[in-house]
Structure 1
Amino acid sequence: MSAHPTAATGALKVFPDREHLVHALAEHLLALAERTLAEGGADRPFRIALSGGSTPQALYALMAAPDYARRFPWARTQFFMVDDRFVPHSHADSNGGMLQRLLFDHVPVPKSNIFLMPDSGASTEAARRYEATLRRVTGLNTLPTAGNTTTPPLLDVCLLGMGTDGHTASLFPGQDVLSNHTDWVAACTPATAPHIRLTLTYPAIAASRHVIFLVAGADKQAMLARVRAQDTSLPATAISGLCDVTWYMDQAAMPLTA
C-alpha cells in the first residue's frame, strides 16, 4: 500500500456501463460499512461524505430501493456532505435537498445521523459552522495524515465526482480554496459554475480512510487521463487519502493510457 495514495496512482475499477457501475459501488459501500462497524465496536459509527451529480444520483436511488435499503446499517451510519451550493435546501440546485429527496426520505436513517451543510447566513460563517460540526461529531481537533495510525480518520469514505474541467468537490481550477490547507471546510465562488459553494478542503478529504471517485461517460475520459498523468493544473490530481484512492468508472470513461 502506498504511504500517500493519490488520484494519480489509485486503483481503477472499470464496469461495462453505468448500471453495473452503481450496483458495484453500492455493494462496495455496504461492505466497507460492515467491515468498519465490525472492527470498530458497538460505539463506532460508519462515517461517509456524499457528493452531488447525475451519476451519484443513480447510486442514491439504488441505495434507497427496498432490496438494498433493508441490508444497509442506516442506524449506525453518519452522513456528511462533500460540498453544496449555498442555496436553500428546497432549491433545485441543492445537493442536500437532492440527498433528502432521493435517499434519506426513503430509508430508516435517524435524522440525528444526517449532517447537511448549512444553507443560510453568511457563507464564510456557514463553512465555520460545518467545520465545527465535523469536529464535534468526530471528536477530532486535528486531522490525521497518511501514515498516522494513531489518530482516527475524519471520514471512513469520501465519495467524489469529477467535472469535465477537472474539478472535484467544489475545488475548481484557479480558485483560492485550492491553497487553503488550514480550514476543513471553506466557502468559494467558482468563476465557471453558478452559486457560492461550501466545500471540504484538500486536507479534510485527505483525512478520509477511503476516497472514492465515481465517474461515468466518454466526456470524462480525456480529463481522467490528464489526472493519471499527474497534470497539476487540475484540482482532482491533488486529491489523496489515508488508505486508498479508488476510481469507480464505466468503460466509456476509461482512459486509453491509464
Structure 2
Amino acid sequence: MMVEEKFYPDRERLVMALANDCASALQRGIREREQAAFLVSGGSSPKPVYEALSKRPLPWKKINVALVDERWVDRGESGSNHSFIENTLLQNYAAEAPFLGMKTPHRTAVEGQADCERAYAELPRPFDVCLLGMGSDGHTASLFPHADGLEEALQPESGQLCRAITAKQSEVTGSHTERMTLSLAAILQAQDIKLLITGEEKLKVYREALLGSDELEMPIRSVLRQGLKPVTVYWAP
C-alpha cells in the first residue's frame, strides 16, 4: 500500500500543514498547466482547512474547485455540500475560484448522472488535489458500505467520473441516502489524494480498514489499498 501518515499532536498544526500542502500542490498545477483542480469534501473536519486556504492569496481564478460528493438536495438546503463549500472555502481570496457542484435539476441522482459526468469531464486533468474524509462506518466520499451502485463506483478502470449512489440508511447517512459521488476511477485521477481524519474513533476505524480487505464493507479500503496512487493520511486527536 502506498500510504504515508502525517500525524500531528493537535488539530491546529494539522490544519496548518494540510492547508500548506494543498496550496503547494495547487500552485504546482498552475505552474505546470496554468490551471489546477481541487476536489473537496464536506464535513466538519475540513472546515478550518478551507477557512485557512480562503485567506491565501493564491491565483484562485485558475483553481477549479469541484465537489467530491453531494447529497441529492438543492443548494441552500440542510446537508448541501455545495452551500457548505460556498460558506467556508469560497470566501475571501478564494471567492474568485470557479466552482462546480454535483446537484442537477433532475428529480433523482440516477437521472442527473449523465449531466454530472459531462460537467466533470470538462475539469482540467489530472486533478491536482482530492481531499477526502472518512466516516465511522468506513465510507469515503459517498461510497457507503453495501450501497446500491457501490460495486460499479469502485471499478478502477470504469472511466466514469460520477456515480449515483443510494446508501443504506444509518446514523451516518441520516435521511439523505440519495447521493452523487466521484467514483474510485475519478479519485485515482488526482495527483495528490489526501485523507483527513481526526479523533481516536476515526483512527481506530482507519487502522481496521488497513487490516482488512472487504471493500464493500469499508469502501475507504478501495482508496487505501489501490496501489496505483500514493495516499497521504492526516490525523490529529
TM over 0.5, yes or no?
A: yes
Determine if the alignment matches structure 1 residue 156 to structure 2 residue 128. Answer: yes
- How many angstroms does 1:134 deviate by? 1.4
Aligned counterparts of 1:161 and 1:212: Cα–Cα separation in 2? 8
Structure 1 residues not aligned, in runs of 5+: 1-7, 139-151, 253-258
Q: Quick one: distance in 2 between partners of 1:236 and 1:82?
A: 14
Stretches of structure 2 lacking an aligned partner (at least 5 in a row):
none
Match of 2:218 in 1: 234
The match for 2:84 is 98
Q: Corresponding residue for 1:4?
A: none
Matched-pair contact (CA < 8 Å) for 1:211–1:241: no
Shift of 1:209: 1.3
1:203 pairs with 185, 197, 200, which one? 185
Q: Could you say which residue in structure 2 is the equivalent of 1:58?
A: 48
- Residues 1-258 of structure 1 aligned to structure 2 (within 5 Å): 8-40=1-33, 44-64=34-54, 68-70=55-57, 72-110=58-96, 113-122=98-107, 123-138=109-124, 153=126, 155-180=127-152, 181=155, 182=158, 183-191=160-168, 192=170, 193=173, 194-195=175-176, 196-232=178-214, 233-239=217-223, 240=226, 243-250=229-236, 252=237
What RMSD, in angstroms, separates the aligned Cα atoms of the two structures?
1.8
CA deviations 1:67-104 (Å, max 9, x no partner) are x322x221110011100111011012101101101221
In the aligned structure 2, how far is the partner of 1:225 from the partner of 1:242? 20
Q: CA deviation at 1:106?
A: 2.9
**TM-aligned CA deviation for residue 189 of structure 1:** 1.8
Give the counterpart letter for 1:235 in structure 2. P
Question: CA offset at residue 244 of structure 1?
Answer: 1.8
Secondary structure, counterpart of 2:46 in structure 1: helix
Find the residue that maps to 2:50 and give its secondary structure.
helix
| Structure 1 residue 201 displacement after superposition | 1.0
Q: Which amino acid aligns with 1:39?
A: E
Give the 3 Å change call, closer, same or farther, for CA 97–246 of structure 1 in structure 2. same
1:30-61 Cα shifts (integer Å, max 9, x gaps): 11112222223xxx311110001111112112
In structure 1, C-alpha distance between the alignment counterparts of 2:7 and 2:203, rounded to whole Å: 12
Q: Any conservation in 2 of the 1:166–1:234 contact (CA below 8 Å)?
A: yes
Q: Distance in 2 between matches of 1:221 and 1:103?
A: 26
Residue type matched to 1:115 in 2? L
Structure 1 CA distance for aligned equivalents of residues 162 and 94 of structure 2: 28
Distance 1:127 1:39 in 2: 31
Q: Determine the C-alpha separation between the residues in 2 that align with 1:106 and 1:241.
A: 37
| Code of the aligned partner of 1:162 | M
The answer to whether the Cα contact below 8 Å between 2:2 and 2:229 also exists between their aligned partners in 1 is no
Task: Give the secondary-structure state (helix, strand or coil) at the position aligned to 1:104.
Answer: coil
Q: Which runs of 4+ in 1 moved over 6 A?
A: none
Quote the offset at 1:108 in angstroms.
Answer: 4.5
Q: What secondary structure, in the 3-state scheme, does the structure 2 residue paired with 1:26 have? A: helix
How many pairs were matched up? 222
Distance 1:91 1:119, change over 3 A: farther
1:137 to partner: Cα distance: 3.4
